[in-house]
Amino acid sequence: MTGQEPPGPRDVAVVAFAQSDHRRTTDELSEVEMLMPVLHEVLRATGLRTADIGFTCSGSSDYLAGRAFSFTMALDGVGAWPPISESHVEMDGAWALYEAWTKLLTGEADTALVYSYGKSSPGPLRDVLTRQLDPYYLAPLWPDSVALAALQAQALIDAGDTDEPALAAIAARSRRDAAANPHAQLRGPLPHGDYVVRPLRTGDCPPVGDGAAAVILAAGDRARELCERPAWIRGIDHRIEAHALGVRDLTDSPSTRLAAEKAGAFERPVDTAELHAPFTAQEVVLRKALRLGDGVRVNPSGGPLAAHPVMAAGLIRIGEAAARVHRAESDRALAHATSGPCLQQNLVAVLEGEPR
């Protein structure tokens, strides 16, 4: 805190983004071994060293690989000595970014390193994710993540919002776009496959895999020093709905809409949207909630249907949207992250580049 700045909000930007190559398994690497090259890459992009970073925040879940306190070992890759200012969320890294953003707003730090990683390959992911459900009424039934998404997909089909060919087209578009993304796990055309849980087929589901991502945030002039065209966070907000699926309208996402409204997404149109819709049908819900027209480029990276490292996939949406602003391929992009079954909790960020 300099004490000289006028009171009021600071401008905070994403100034660098890096991600691993997302793969079905990385069993030759521990979590920190998988993460470390990504941390080095994102720091190298800004010329910063760990000691220069004001705040570090990460997101991960020990349930994925079954390793207790894996996040403390992942911290080895940061180089946390002398002791650093650090925090961790048991959530997707997008929420770690939210925490870092608030930290920068307070003025206590000018830069933040945000990272997240997920190693789903050691465990049965569909079953692992049942452990996040209500332990009284849901978890004892072991309803897996694909089953819950399939209930949502059927509700959309019943409502006339989509059909199976439309869902297949979302899958095909995603993987076609991913052909240009060297980090994606599924790149290029794939057969849409058999039913996993009807009406969802393999093509409607995200690949299971391992991966990591990292972002650097910076405030004000620091951001301009570190990045030629910072991706300014014009707004960011997250909202949550009731956990029980039976009290929600699964064909809509009021929490996404409200987060978008609070983030200022509706004030002016965006040209790009990176949506964290792990299942094809969820893209239908999000497009509706976010009022995205046909002119908006959705998931040019291929999105989560091409690479879905759990706990990192939401942060990657923010990183991909920011990277497009950095490369001057977007002037105003929306990034979305989700958590919980059937889009229970949603985060929306609006990123802008300065006029070219």
Partner 1 sequence: MPEVLKAPLVVEFPFTRSLGPVQSAFLTGLRERVVLGVRTGDGRTLVPPVEYDPVTAEEIDELVEVAPTGTVTTWAWNHEPRRGQPLGTPFAWVLVRLDGADTALLHALDAPGPEAVRTGLRVRIRWAAERTGAITDIACFEPYDDPHGETRRPAPHSGHFDGQVTGIVAPARLDYTYSPGRAQSAYLDALAGHRTVGERCPSCRKVYVPPRGACPTCGLATTERVEVGPRGTVTTFCIVNIKAKNLDIEVPYVYAHIALDGAGLALHGRIGGIPYDQVRMGLRVEPVWAPGARHPDHYRPTGEPDADYDTYKELL
The residues binding partner 1 (CB under 8 A) are: 27-33, 36, 39, 50, 63, 65-67, 73, 75-81, 122-124, 126-128, 130-131, 135-144, 147-148, 150-155, 158, 195, 197-200, 242, 244-247, 250
| Closer residue to partner 1 (CB): 102 or 154 | 154
In three-state secondary structure terms, 43 is helix
97 and 114 Cβ atoms separated by less than 8 Å: yes
| Closer residue to partner 1 (CB): 46 or 130 | 130
Strands (E), 199-271: 200-201, 210-219, 231-240
Instruction: Quote the least distance from Cβ 149 to partner 1, whole Å.
Output: 8
Listed as own residue / partner, the contacts of 25-28 with beta carbons closer than 8 Å and 24 or more positions apart are 25/121, 25/209, 25/210, 26/119, 26/121, 26/210, 27/121, 27/122
What's the CA gap between 238 and 287, in Å, rounded? 17
Both tokens of 293, joined, read 């027209």
| Closer residue to partner 1 (CB): 252 or 331 | 252
What's the CA gap between 124 and 96, in Å, rounded? 25
| Closer residue to partner 1 (CB): 123 or 220 | 123
| Closer residue to partner 1 (CB): 155 or 226 | 155
Instruction: Quote the least distance from Cβ 26 to partner 1, whole Å.
Output: 9
Instruction: Quote the least distance from Cβ 331 to partner 1, whole Å.
Output: 35
Residues contacting 72, CB < 8 A, separation 6+? none
Instruction: Quote the least distance from Cβ 306 to partner 1, whole Å.
Output: 24
Rg (CA), the chain: 19
Instruction: Quote the least distance from Cβ 246 to partner 1, whole Å.
Output: 3
- Nearest Cα to Cα of residue 10 among 289, 273, 286, 224: 224
| Closer residue to partner 1 (CB): 109 or 129 | 129
Instruction: Quote the least distance from Cβ 37 to partner 1, whole Å.
Output: 8
What's the CA gap between 282 and 290, in Å, rounded? 12
| Closer residue to partner 1 (CB): 56 or 181 | 56
| Closer residue to partner 1 (CB): 153 or 349 | 153
**Chain centroid, CA 168 distance in Å:** 22
Instruction: Quote the least distance from Cβ 140 to partner 1, whole Å.
Output: 5
In terms of DSSP bridges, do strands 55-59 and 86-89 run parallel, antiparallel, or are they unpaired?
parallel
What's the CA gap between 37 and 25, in Å, rounded? 17
What's the CA gap between 94 and 304, in Å, rounded? 14
| Closer residue to partner 1 (CB): 92 or 210 | 210
Q: How many CB atoms lie within 10 A of CB 291?
A: 12
